[in-house]
Amino acid sequence: MIYICAYRDWGIEIYNKLKGIYNLVLIEKPHQLTQLSNMFHENDTIFFLGWSWIVEQNIVDNYNCICLHPSPLPKYRGGSPIQNQIINKEQVSAVSFFKMNDKLDQGEILYQAPFSLKGELNEIFSRIIELGTFGIHHIIASNPKGTKQDESEATYCKRRKLEESEITIDEIMSKSAHELYDKVRMLNDPYPNAFIKCGDGNKLFITKTYYDDSTR
């Protein structure tokens, strides 16, 4: 049996693309994973797609647990990898599937493929969906041997806080137009859209921007 653990739209879309091909079970919440773990068999594979919760170690130790992390591991281990890569002006990321172990995002790489970080967040996730779907096909079909990550190349990032979606007056005055454009385009579920706090205490959310560099 193959299980897909996903709760975000892009992860569920990968499940939808695969469910007619393989015998899959979708798990969307941690308590469902705990309940179903009593039914797992030794040869079962569990894919975690953008899973934000800690997986019980006995599940990781006893079953074939594979995680999709949207960064060129070993770089950008940790939370909010897409947002942190855009903040750092990265142009290219990667879909990385790795065999889970007892350390954060440090398992052996089973499949890795690059994708562009240009465009709106929905465009970026469309690339992740395409490569993630192919990656699962590849892993199921070929059972690839894992490759150890190069620890000398490892970097880490922290999960962004909800309040970090605010665009402050200081940022408007100090950052470039492209930096502000990047902040707006990278924010969507599970984070609130970028917003400005107005004089009446309300928040003005910014969901779409257009960056014109013709004057540069």
**Pair 88, 193 in one domain:** no
Task: Look up the domain containing 193 and give its range.
Answer: 162-206
Torsional sign, CA 156, 159, 161, 165: positive
Task: Point out the domain boundary residue: 136, 157, 178.
Answer: 157
Q: Residue 145 pLDDT more than 60? A: yes
**Statement to judge: residues 14 and 67 lie in one domain:** yes
User: Are residues 90 and 14 part of one domain?
Assistant: yes
The SS3 of residue 209 is coil
Within this chain, do residues 60 and 142 fall inside the same structural domain, yes or no?
Answer: yes
Same domain, 167 and 130: no
- Return the bridge partners of 38, or none: none
183 and 105 belong to one structural domain = no
Mean pLDDT of 165-187: 93
* CATH number of the domain encompassing residue 36: 3.40.50.170
49 and 133 share one domain: yes
pLDDT reported for residue 162? 86
Q: Express each pLDDT in 75-86 by its tens digit.
A: 999 999 999 999
Total tally of structural domains belonging to the chain: 2
Distance of CA 4 to the CA centre of its chain: 15
Mean pLDDT of 54-74: 96
Identify the residue whose tokens are 């041997």.
145
Q: Give the separation between CA 56 and CA 19, rounded to whole angstroms.
A: 25
* Separation CA 15–CA 147 (nearest Å): 25
Q: Do 105 and 98 meet the contact criterion of CB atoms below 8 Å apart?
A: yes
Residues 109, 9 share a domain: yes
Helix (H, G, I), strand (E, B) or coil at 170: helix
Asked whether the beta carbons of 176 and 98 are under 8 A apart, the reply is no
Decide if pLDDT at 190 tops 80.
no
**Chain segment 83-98, per-residue pLDDT in tens:** 999 999 999 999 999 9
- Residue 155 to residue 71: CA distance in whole angstroms: 11
Question: What residue type is 92 in one-letter code?
Answer: V
214: confidence class by pLDDT, cuts 50, 70, 90:
low
